Structure 1
């Protein structure tokens, strides 16, 4: 706090003489006299100076009066400031004394009785102790002249007004002329006037406080340091109760026997002497006379109080050292942080505080102004009387009872031995290798200081989750998540016994409460092996591990639904919380045990909000958290930790972790303790040590048998979706509700195809594709992901819904024909408008097999289906390996895609999925739709292709997509092929009259004799037949006639080709689509040809371009249709359902032969 002096009155400057005021009347008087020549006018000349002099005198009188008034006000302000400073200094002295009463005040009875045994050694702050009295900093700073003197206190009247003005100004002038060294000496003299800076900064005769937790060392003769050391012990035993302060060792000699009589003395108090520069944890040497040491156990910390004739003989643990020079004078020595031993102060003005600031206005105690202190001296008689008084007080308060030592191992069976119904159950014990005696001290019948209620689990009663989990100094230790919670935090390093504690706790909980009262959800992110034994308990609702990341996320998301479920149940029961009598028997309490919380939160994003929600509302809903981690301070947020009043800690690595959880560092001192040694605290109470019981498989079996129930307890989540779901199972669940979706029109098909997992709602639904509202459907998945199975399921479901189905094969010819047939149906104004579902598997692969011209044409057909299909009742379901590329036209017009397993998370996200739903270990058929996890149903079994229909008839056999061409002999035909000479030879071998186009004479037409005619088997040629009047082609000896040429030759004989097209066929074999469009002079792209030898295009006389097989047939089949007409479109046979898609994609169903015309529509 800054203290500033009041402003000093500034002397008023003397008023100036009014020269103009004197001169102006003189000038005017002379002017009047000059005009009037009257002597009276000259009298006015004397009037001006007289008035001016009178004004100056008046101003000076008024200035002196104002200066005196300002000086009186300044003196009054100085007096008020002096009183305020003295009041603040006195208040600071009182505040310091209230923090730590001195030994003299304690022994004389002047200490506040409320301060007896009131301190908490487990807090973060130090424990103050008074070394004596001295001048300590006040926390105030003088902001005025550092050499300004305080006014004489005697020169005042009864009202505090100064009677004389102190000569501060003259004194200040004199002190400025004094050398600096002389001025400092003069300021230190008690006979010199006090300075404001000293009065403000220092508090005289105030307690000099230090932190006792840093250890204290006293240097001096034994006769001088012994009374001071006794005074320090008096302060400590007065401030701390026996449970928080234990005297572990004492100096040797009868003059220290009084320490044994204190209630703070530990059992087996040992004697030792101070040694030279030894760590606090080692025994101290006893060779030096007059060296003493007292070791204290203060809240889990060891504090050393030592005395020695030399500073070098004090142990290094003494961070505060006092040099006792005389009975009434001692000097404070400070330890150098860079050295091991203490060093003397080099300055009387210390800079480093011993205790931190409180922030509540209490001044910060530091070293004294001069480094000197007046210690309190305590006689031996006084401390002996005090020891007897404190011992008597401890007995009256029940603090002096002997405490049993903690056992190193506690069998859990001993905790259950006395409680029915376990006492009547046959023992189910399993020997444990190296198991010591089963009985723990204090647990046998009739032993121990606790009552029967303390030694056995609490009786079952509503509103409690009490469970006995170990043994403490006073008997069995019970924890209650309801009374002490509602939530708990468990800390401990690896190997400290956290998992054993949790197993014992849950077993004890199950032993004391039936499954109707409490259930347990286990979450283990260390693999789950630690909690596997607990699954035999009927209370266990499940185990979640880090081995199944998606299953863990799904189970933990269900906790939100569990919160809503419990809220709904309590509201329906009319209960305010789970303890309300109206909710009796309605909801069991749910204990959620999480081992390795840090790993869980790192693996599951956003889970901390769920934990915080349960922590905030769990008490009323009957949901309790047991969070286990190695470092709670860095993992559990304050919002969660604030609701975890029950805290347990096993061994931790550092004091900060122990203090953050329990408010004490005792958990960091358990390094040498046996595994399972634990500290428990609730609602801020001091932590108590106990030994965790060890649970065996026999104990678990015994508890499970006692609470066996034929009806399993309700689980807070559903099982994960199975890898295989029958198609009929979709009828048993409701459809997935979608907010904002339009209602399908009457008659529009609704096609269910998968089961949806809704863990956040604790239910399942079926995924229903409604083409009328959802648009087209895109199924994306990698190899072996179940794309084909999904389309088969959609086909079966669409058939059940009354829709027609078209399967688009994955081969080039079949894909082209199916798309062309659907486009023709859409654009036929008189065609059917019944719902039609087009299924295309591996459509992106089929498109990639086509040439550039056919790709463009096929994508144009797909675009037509996508855009025009919905108006004609046509819906498209496409399956591919990726959403972009050739399927972009379908992706843009489709609804949310069905995303089946993909190789990487990036591909999953690019396909439109959510990153959190990616599962690298997903099974075929598992995927995502509309942001929810799904499992595609298995399609029903269908009849094979050879099976008969329901009416007994066989399914029609589809036509060959490229039938072998038959060339009638009543016309001349054209063949376009790159190798014309070889084609002519092959045709003649098959009995066909063939000639190259280059050999046809100009002007020849089809009605004239064929230039390449050859004799048949009976010696009758075509030319002879024509000459005898026999119609060509009507006789038996008529032979096909073919003109053969390459594309270039036919370009030169364009009129000849046009003449042959009018009556005969044109076959293009081995040509490109560009050749066909150039020779035929058409814009349409001919249908694609499979890479099969002999595939060709047939151009009929009516201009239709179809596929055919070459070379031609020698005779038409008996049931062949009339030449020039395509075979009638036939229905596809029904295929047997195939298993889930293998690694290589296959067409769905198997590609059947197809006719040249667009076909593949199944009715």
Structure 2
């Protein structure tokens, strides 16, 4: 049997018909002429018989030509028939070879039993739906237009009993009675599963036959998905259709059963009669079990755990990659190289799928093989704070960030910006193009639940996108874990993460976002299947099924004890202390505290500006402590306290005698609220003038920043915002809402966009200048004193005080009736209310010309009416037995009565 089936066979060309002999005209005419001549010469009639020889010779010659032509045709026909039989035999031989090759390449179930999962180009792209005619590659040329030659050519063009195939992705609908249709479809499904291994094709059962669930192909992890129900998504469909019903639009081929083993295939508008193959349910179950056992031997036990300790690569690594074993595929250790396959990876999986275990395995495998000067880790756990507890003792781990410390997490992640710049500078200093030319270790940043991190810190998405874009050269690698992949990552970030790993997900959209297909959504959720992942590297056309190994506590302990290399550098500084003693800070000028600058990987002292500072915070936030720290470093500072009278006196004194040290005003908003409106307005204006005119810093604290307080704080060049109740309060206090931190400890706040821990001074207080004295007790002076007080308790208290001092007490009416009475001798006090003095206004003027005026604290309005003086008197608190003494020069002083 020849091995060549593509050479052209040729039929002999038709033999041309034999040429007919020409009429022997001369030979026929000469006897006639001779006979006639002899007859004329001799007169003998016998001579005329010679004339008859010419026609006889011509006739004989013609008859002989006809006989020769007939014989030629018989010989040519016999030769042509022999050639057709020879070509026909060659066609049959070549058809046999071609048929065998076709069945070898595209077997049915019976043929596939001998070549289960044998790789062959194009295998699995077509499905054999039955035996029947199909175009042949055998070509016959030549021959004539006769029917026999045409029959030979037609026979060569079509091969019988050959596999009739349909492209799998066209979809096939089997139409016929349910029992027979199911048997035919079983054969088609098993044919596909025998040709392609489980990592290449996945069958999505329609639930009608239990044996399909036993197929290893029923589990996800393949590049091609075949759905057995019309409504199921997939790359191809293989569905049953009841007789008379329309085939689904996704099925381009319809196989209509016409008998037990006969069917009509309708595909691309052509009908073909085929003999079908059918499989019983028992046969199918047996084959499914056999395939499952074969898959168990080839790919490893389904549902069985793989111990990392048994397959881990502990050999010292050469080169610049991060190549380690993370699991098993087809029973063979499966390796991942984060540098070559990445440089960044995305890991997806629902809760319970084994995502945290995968990350733990990956980290442990890297620590087993690489020293700390080759790789370090920054771990971020944003799904509860316990995912990486077992790894905190690894020397390679520079820190673990959790969502339980939102401020610390943001700070550590912000420090990565400084790490980017530091690595860039190191590469430039080394004159290298990337990290391979430096002694920097690779930093692997692993985030468990990236969606939670991005939701809590949306401004950090740009940072991760930047790391993803530049990480390869800088030696910074991302492994981002998430439960939902769809909608979690920006396109720019995902595009730079070519290494995709998906454990089980519940939404096909999440699978498509990572792997390009829905196969990860079909992974089993059974407990024994936990840790089964689909891995797709940038160079892979399809995802590969991998059983992730488990790292035991003993193996983690081995990685800790066997770690090599120096202690790695942390990519961020320790957090600010909750107590910052002033004695431990040093700086030029008045030091306020220590500022945290994670983006620059440094902590620097904060110094008071020469013009002043505003401090805002709720009760207990540490506002007064900031004043104490300033006071401890300022010479002869002036501190305005909470007592309104003392505060008023202090501010008035500062206007007349500029201070030499800092001016400290505590709880300005509370202080202003204790003054009447006119006093509050005047007090605020005096503070404003002090801020404008003094050359010393003014430090003001407040809980709220509304009204006059906000205007005064705006005049100060620096502002510190300590703990406040809400983000809205933080913004109202003048801060950027993005800088707000909840739960700040006392003494910590935001200043200039930086987190600052303000200094705590020692108990030794600095000298504080006293600016107001306790009011003196009123004693009448020699001569006459006019007293303005309302009738009642105020008048009686003043009269009693005057009498106790040995002075005479007269009413306004008595002084008006006898003008000489007040000056009759000794000390005299004339007492009256506002109306009485208005009626005796001349007496008041007479007394004021040489004596003093005392005004009860409740009679300030009467004083203004009587004197026309609109200036505010020194503030006094109501109900404290206070009065004003106004001397003959018009200077008012606060006094205590009684």
Fold-level similarity (TM above 0.5):
yes
Match of 1:532 among 385, 389, 398: 389
CA distance in 2: counterparts of 1:962 and 1:311, whole angstroms = 112
User: CA shift at 1:474, angstroms?
Assistant: 2.9
Secondary structure of the residue aligned to 1:1106 is: strand
Paired residue secondary structure (2:649): helix
Q: Please state whether the residue corresponding to 1:483 is helix, strand or coil.
A: helix
Q: Which residue of 639, 642, 657 maps to 1:810?
A: 642
Alignment-derived partner of residue 282 in structure 1: 210
Cα distance in 1 for partners of 2:103, 2:166 equals 20
Question: Is the alpha carbon distance of 1:222 and 1:894 closer, same or farther for their aligned partners in structure 2, counting shifts above 3 Å?
Answer: closer
- Pairwise CA RMSD: 4.3
Cα shift readout 1:979-1029 (whole Å, capped 9, x = no counterpart) = 26634356435643212122124461477425xxxxxxxxxxxxxxxxxxx
Taking structure 1 as the reference length, the TM-score comes to: 0.56
The alpha-carbon distance between structure 1 residues 892 and 400, as it changes in their structure 2 partners (threshold 3 A), is closer
The superposition leaves residues 343-395 of structure 1 with CA deviations (integer Å, 9 ceiling, x where unpaired) of: xxxxxxxxxxxxxxxxxxxxxxxx644xx522667999xxxxxxxxxxxxxxx
Partner of 1:718: 573
Deviation at 1:504, TM superposition (A): 1.7
Select which of 754, 760, 766 maps to 2:605. 766
Cα pair 2:212 2:218 within 8 Å, conserved: no
1:133/1:851 Cα in 2 relative to 1: closer, same or farther (>3 Å)?
farther
Q: CA 1:1009 to 1:464, structure 2 compared with 1: closer, same or farther past 3 Å?
A: same
CA apart distance, 1:778 = 1.8
Q: Which of 868, 889, 893 is the equivalent residue of 1:1106?
A: 893
Change (3 A) 1:484 1:766: same
Distance apart, 1:1106 and its partner CA = 0.2
Q: Matches of 1:501 and 1:132 in 2, distance apart?
A: 46
Q: Tell whether 2:481 aligns with 1:628.
A: yes
Pick one of 494, 505, 510 that aligns with 1:652: 505
Alpha-carbon distance in structure 2 between the residues aligned to 1:278 and 1:1054: 112
Q: Which residue of 1 aligns with 2:102?
A: 107
Matches within 5 A, 1:658-697: 658-667=511-520, 668-672=522-526, 673-685=528-540, 686-697=542-553
Whole-angstrom distance in 2 between the partners of 1:1078 and 1:220: 115
Residue in structure 1 matching 2:445, options 571, 592, 599: 592
CA contact (8 A) 2:578 2:757 kept: yes
Partner of 2:144: none
Q: In the alignment, what sits opposite 1:982?
A: 796
SS of the counterpart of 1:527?
coil
1:966 equivalent in structure 2: 779
2:741 matches 1:919: yes
More helix by share: 2
Q: Cα deviation per residue 1:304-348 (whole Å; 9 max; x = unaligned)?
A: 69999985999999966411549998254xxxxxxxxxxxxxxxx
Whether 2:250 is the aligned partner of 1:322: answer: no
Q: Structure 1 pair 985/641, CA: closer, same or farther in 2 (3 Å)?
A: closer
Which residue does 1:999 correspond to in 2?
Answer: 814
Q: Say whether residues 1:605 and 2:538 are aligned partners.
A: no
Task: List per-residue Cα deviations over 1:491-523 (Å, max 9, x = no partner).
Answer: 111111111111121112111112121111111
Say yes or no: does 1:854 pair with 2:676. no
What is the CA–CA distance in structure 2 between the aligned matches of 1:247 and 1:979, rounded to whole Å? 104
Shift of 1:652: 1.6
**Which residue in the other structure is 1:409 paired with?**
305
- TM-score, length basis structure 2: 0.72
Partner of 1:468: 325
Distance 1:295 1:789, change over 3 A: closer
Aligned pairs (5 A) from 1:299-318: 299=223, 301=225
Change (3 A) 1:1079 1:377: same
Deviation at 1:708, TM superposition (A): 7.1
1:134-173 to structure 2, matched below 5 A, reads none
**Does the alignment pair 1:933 with 2:786?**
no
Instruction: State whether structure 2 residue 629 is matched by structure 1 residue 793.
Output: yes
Between stretches 294-303 and 1001-1010, larger displacement belongs to 294-303
Post-superposition offset of 1:866: 3.2
Please give the alpha-carbon distance, in whole angstroms, between the structure 2 residues aligned to 1:295 and 1:699.
34
Change (3 A) 1:622 1:959: closer
Structure 2 gaps of 5+ residues are 1-97, 107-117, 133-163, 229-236, 279-294
Q: Is the 8 A contact 1:129 1:232 kept in 2?
A: no
Partners of 1:663 and 1:797 lie apart in 2 by 66
Spell out the pairing of 1:23-422 with structure 2 (5 A cutoff).
107=102, 117-118=120-121, 211-212=168-169, 216-217=173-174, 219=176, 242=197, 244=199, 279-283=207-211, 299=223, 301=225, 321-325=254-258, 330=264, 332=266, 368-369=268-269, 372-374=270-272, 402-406=298-302, 408-415=304-311
Q: Which residue of 2 aligns with 1:730?
A: 585
- Partners of 2:865 and 2:744 lie apart in 1 by 52
Residue-by-residue CA offset, 1:240-279 (whole Å, 9 max, x unaligned): 7556557999xxxxxxxxxxxxxxxxxxxxxxxxxxx973
| Contact 2:786-2:830 within 8 A present in 1 as well | yes
Change (3 A) 1:222 1:670: closer
The aligned residue for residue 657 of structure 2 is 825
Using the TM superposition, give the Cα deviation of residue 223 of structure 1 relative to its aligned residue in structure 2, in angstroms: 13
- Contact persistence 1:231–1:377 (CA under 8 A): no
Q: Is the 8 A contact 2:324 2:365 kept in 1?
A: yes
Deviation at 1:525, TM superposition (A): 0.8
Change (3 A) 1:861 1:638: closer
Distance 1:1080 1:768, change over 3 A: same
SS in 1 for 2:462: helix
Q: Counterparts of 1:817 and 1:725 in 2: how far apart (Å)?
A: 34
Gaps of 5+ in 1: 1-102, 122-126, 135-206, 250-276, 286-292, 333-366, 381-398, 417-455, 736-749, 827-833, 946-954, 1011-1031, 1033-1039, 1112-1163
Change in CA separation of 1:651 and 1:982 when aligned onto 2, cut-off 3 Å: same
Change (3 A) 1:555 1:120: farther
Select the residue among 889, 893, 916 that pairs with 2:711.
889
Mapped to 1, the partners of 2:628 and 2:317 lie a distance apart of 57
CA distance in 1, matches of 2:769, 2:248: 103
> What secondary structure, in the 3-state scheme, does the structure 2 residue paired with 1:1079 have?
helix
User: Would the aligned equivalents of 2:634 and 2:662 in 1 still touch at CA under 8 Å?
Assistant: yes
SS at match of 1:839: strand
Deviations 1:478-500 (A, max 9, x none): 22211221111111111111111
Does structure 2 retain, via aligned residues, the 8 Å contact 1:899–1:908?
Answer: yes
Distance (Å, rounded) in 2 between the aligned partners of 1:309 and 1:965: 114
Q: CA deviation at 1:922?
A: 0.8
The separation in 2 between residues aligned to 1:940 and 1:576, in whole angstroms, is: 52
The CA distance in 1 between the partners of 2:586 and 2:404, in whole Å, is 33
The structural deviation recorded for 1:924 is 1.5
Distance 1:1056-1:295 versus aligned 2 partners, 3 A rule: closer
Shift of 1:762: 1.2
CA deviation after TM superposition for structure 1 residue 900, in Å: 1.3
User: Which digits, 9 at most, give the CA deviation of each residue in 1:693-728, with x for residues without a partner?
Assistant: 33333332222122277x642111122222221223
Q: Deviations over 1:167-217 (max 9, x none)?
A: xxxxxxxxxxxxxxxxxxxxxxxxxxxxxxxxxxxxxxxx99564585653
